[in-house]
Structure 1
């Protein structure tokens, strides 16, 4: 016997009154910053490493806005003391991200790289300080993520989507550390001259600043470590949206009214998403552009798609074992 599925309680807009206010307000400020950086790009035509000087601030505003909007909601799901601790940790994360964004803005005004900069002792010290901010932000998010693991949600599909999305986002954020290592070209320059203006890079196999995808700027001639960093972090939105979408589809598709079926599909989506993150890390580390995959990359992608398709079919078609009362 199946039961009618109501939209999860977590979708109720009335719950926004309990959302974490500092991160919600900060997400709104990032939306404003995104608009302002678009205006800045139209007015200020300077470029830096082949991209508009304000482009990185625009991308950080959009990504940061989505990230903290989602965490504002996630904190509201925690009960009692867990919510208080997660609220404090998330507030710390907001403050650290805001400080990093101010430092990036300062460097954009100066026309200097905000990340990997080693042009002067000041630039190097500022980048190191930003690195400490990012490390603190990651640790604060780790605390909130661990607390989320102890929270039980009524809708089981949303319950697992929130958990797996938060863990994958934490991993994706940590992948940013891959960009901080000096490239072979930079090491060669240091050996030859004792100095390199940049220490670390987004691209693999080519220098930063070459041809890239419109708006995103991801390299089209080499690997780009920003891709797994971005994809991983936004599991935080993708997987809960998958669970919400399944709940809405359940109002039309009787098979999805079984909670166990939706949970299976969420786990399939989560494992498939983790596989995608691993795939794009592997591709980037081999110096391969996202849009020009090699034979091995295509074969791995085909296996991943086939596995997800098979698991999806099994999730829907295999009967749900009924619990004896």
Structure 2
């Protein structure tokens, strides 16, 4: 019998649902009295930690270098989510392999898809799925700011007595998002207009391109599950040569195989193109690093892109400009 991928996904989802039903009904197991929060991605976890402050303990399921498009929940993840006071997930079909489980879990405890609350008129269509949207909304800090009140209200629903603290912390987060947005607009605007071509491993930067006026090209589609065909590679090599593209970018959570193919293809045509740096697309940097915070991630990406494409960012990005150390 031929085992199809769909059969595997459905069977896995059914097994997860069975395990969920076998577990006891949700009870908070926090010995510290802190609100137990599980977030699927690092970007959501960062917002929850900052908004919740000392009142929360946040677990992120997907760490640095993890691709959320193909991620499937483990038994450990299921136990953590069923025991949490609040589960925060992205939505917009980002966690495609987890969606069925999360929707079922939502019927029995506080489970919130934070990006689903964003205005539909500000979302970009998904190229692969009808009636779906491009989920990479965190690439535009002004748009990503819309998840802050959603996270704040979810935490306040679970812990009403801490609402004032959550509101104050959320206001601070929004100020920092506005600050990094303004910084990105400035440094990315220093790149000559004809050089504002951002070529990466997959289409994670469309919101970035819209926000900062860049032409964005991905070898793969919006989902890393899509494949880049030989024709796509050849077309992009043609573009690199014809438009004198000098730098392309790898992503921390996506294989660089196709990027290397572009570099080799351009070299065969007598054109040199280099890797302009590694960008954080579907996951942030390592825990405890500046790039492991949302502000640090956006600062890093904007600074790296501007420097590689001929702009004039500060030597250490916004962090160096403001002397803010590793503040998130």
Q: With structure 1 as the length reference, what TM-score do the two structures score?
A: 0.31
From the CA coordinates, give the structure whose radius of gyration is larger.
Answer: 1
TM-score (norm 2): 0.30
Greater strand content: 2
